[in-house]
Amino acid sequence: MTLSQDFARRIADARPLEDAAAVQAAREGVLDFLASAFPGPADPAWHKLRGVLPQAGGAARVIGQATTTDAASAALLNGYAGHALDFDDVHSSVRGHPGTVLLPALFALADTLPAASALDLLDAYIVGVEAMARLGLALGSKHYENGFHNTATLGPLGAAAACARLLKLDAAATENALGLAATQAGGLRLQFGSEAKPLHAGLAARAGLFAAQLAQAGLQGAPGVLEAPIGFLDAYGFGAADAGRALADWGAPWQIVTPGLYFKPYACCTATHYAADAALALRATHQLRAEDIAAVRVVFPPAGDTPLTVTDPATGLEGRFSVEYVLAAALVDGALGLSLFDERPAREDLRAFGRRVSRAHDPHAARASTDPKTRFSTVEVTLHDGRQYMQHVQGLSRAKDLAAKFADTTQQQPEALRAVPALVGRMRSRDDLIQLTALFSLVQA
């Protein structure tokens, strides 16, 4: 059995609903996705995307749209909405965002399948995370460091795996779906801080859904997508791929449980979160005032700030990828609110403070990779009077209360949406799933 055949067989034969921890983690992932996606249609760029897509003509629900549309367009729009704030989940094995790819594809597909239940969706979601994460581990770090966005490149294969599972495709058809998804994979980190970054999530969701539908229809691609000499791992791994990691410990435990999904407390790149936590702790512990701070130094492991390509952001969107801007907000405001990271011009006072921030790398630390243990930040603050304070953070403080996060991001939305957390926490049936997706149309765009 080839690697691709074995990988596809595991997708087709998985039994994740027998693991209560995996099911609970999937419910949390759905709620975090909705907390991130429901504000998405308020983003001006979402309306630009919507304007060039069909407005009606299908059974799939779109967040923020009263009419249904075709499944492909719904997956694209909902994927964009889920990533528009950059507030959605992160998985360290993926080195990207699985929820905003997998769930838009699954919701769109489930709307077209009369028998698909909420438990079926959770089952397929767990398997999709597993597939996307195992491929992320197998691909290695050079892929990301060379400029690819893992959400965009791993996403089509993860979504194809999830949709193949929901369609109940056999192993042969699932392998074909993976190959059809892989040939659509692409997306550059160059787009970080632009309106195109969330497009990556939507395109990946649509590509994975389309690949599974094509496989179901019998359109045949080349076999051996994972192990072939010019296959996915070879072409995208840049010599660092380890194919064995795609299968090792499959489902034991499920990747959605360990290392699990990271739910963001701040709507900015995860690579800034270690420094943000350190700065907020320093400010609170030492009662720091911005006007007393002469300089700030943040130390990363080698390659730890690879995604943080912006030092002096012109907009809040760019600020998501600027540790200087994030540290400025943490030390000046003592908070990192959603409004800091939208499309409006970056705050001038924070840009000015950010020029006091310098970066460094610890040459003795392990290079940052998909292993969370290789990631940290140390923030050193020097005051005008010469006093110095330091805080080291290794390990992230994820959003502790997802219901509270949902309430915060939807506080301006209709009261009927307050039912979502409880519904996600108990949903099992087809009727539960229909009830949930029907609420998508109530979101105000």
Indicate the SS3 state at residue 113. coil
What is the pLDDT averaged over residues 101-125? 98
What pLDDT is recorded for position 400? 74
> In DSSP terms, which residues pair with 91 in a beta bridge?
96, 261
Confidence band (pLDDT; 50, 70, 90) for 303? very high
What pLDDT is recorded for position 210? 98
Confidence band (pLDDT; 50, 70, 90) for 430? very high
What pLDDT is recorded for position 24? 98
Q: What gap in Å lies between CA 417 and CA 321, rounded to an integer?
A: 31
What pLDDT is recorded for position 57? 86
Q: What gap in Å lies between CA 60 and CA 397, rounded to an integer?
A: 35
In this model, does residue 134 exceed pLDDT 90? yes
Per-residue buried b or exposed e for 334-358, using 16+ beta carbons within 10 Å of the residue's own CB: eebeeebbbeeebbeebbebbebbe
What is the pLDDT averaged over residues 316-337? 97
Residue-wise DSSP of 195-247: TTHHHHHHHHHHHHHHHHHHHHHT----S-TTTSTTSHHHHHHTT---GGGGT
What pLDDT is recorded for position 373? 87
Residue 331 main-chain phi, psi, to 5 deg: -85, -30
In this model, does residue 372 exceed pLDDT 90? no
Confidence band (pLDDT; 50, 70, 90) for 4? very high
Q: What gap in Å lies between CA 187 and CA 200, rounded to an integer?
A: 6
What pLDDT is recorded for position 315? 96
Residue 19 main-chain phi, psi, to 5 deg: -105, 105
- Residue 139 has, within 13 A of its CA and on its CB side, a CA count of 33
Q: Which residues make Cβ contacts (< 8 Å) with residue 195, sequence separation at least 6?
A: 45, 48, 317, 343
Q: What gap in Å lies between CA 370 and CA 132, rounded to an integer?
A: 13
What pLDDT is recorded for position 371? 86
Task: Report the predicted TM-score, pTM, of the whole model to 2 decimal places.
Answer: 0.95
CB of 44 closer than 8 Å to CB of 90: no
What is the pLDDT averaged over residues 309-318? 96
What pLDDT is recorded for position 398? 78
Q: Which residues make Cβ contacts (< 8 Å) with residue 285, sequence separation at least 6?
A: 389, 391
Token pair 């892929």 in the structure block, residue:
143
Q: Of all helices (H) and strands (E), which one includes residue 48?
A: helix 44-51
- Biggest CA-to-CA distance, the chain: 72
Q: Of all helices (H) and strands (E), which one includes residue 294?
A: strand 293-300
In this model, does residue 19 exceed pLDDT 90? yes
Confidence band (pLDDT; 50, 70, 90) for 238? very high
Confidence band (pLDDT; 50, 70, 90) for 139? very high
What is the pLDDT averaged over residues 284-297? 97
Confidence band (pLDDT; 50, 70, 90) for 397? confident
In this model, does residue 445 exceed pLDDT 90? no
Percent of residues, the chain, with pLDDT higher than 70:
100
What is the pLDDT averaged over residues 14-18? 98
CB of 232 closer than 8 Å to CB of 155: no
Q: Of all helices (H) and strands (E), which one includes residue 158?
A: helix 150-166
Give the residue ranges of DSSP H helices in 260-399. 273-286, 316-319, 323-332, 348-354
What pLDDT is recorded for position 37? 98
Confidence band (pLDDT; 50, 70, 90) for 341? very high
What pLDDT is recorded for position 127? 99
Residues in the chain, total? 445
In this model, does residue 55 exceed pLDDT 90? no
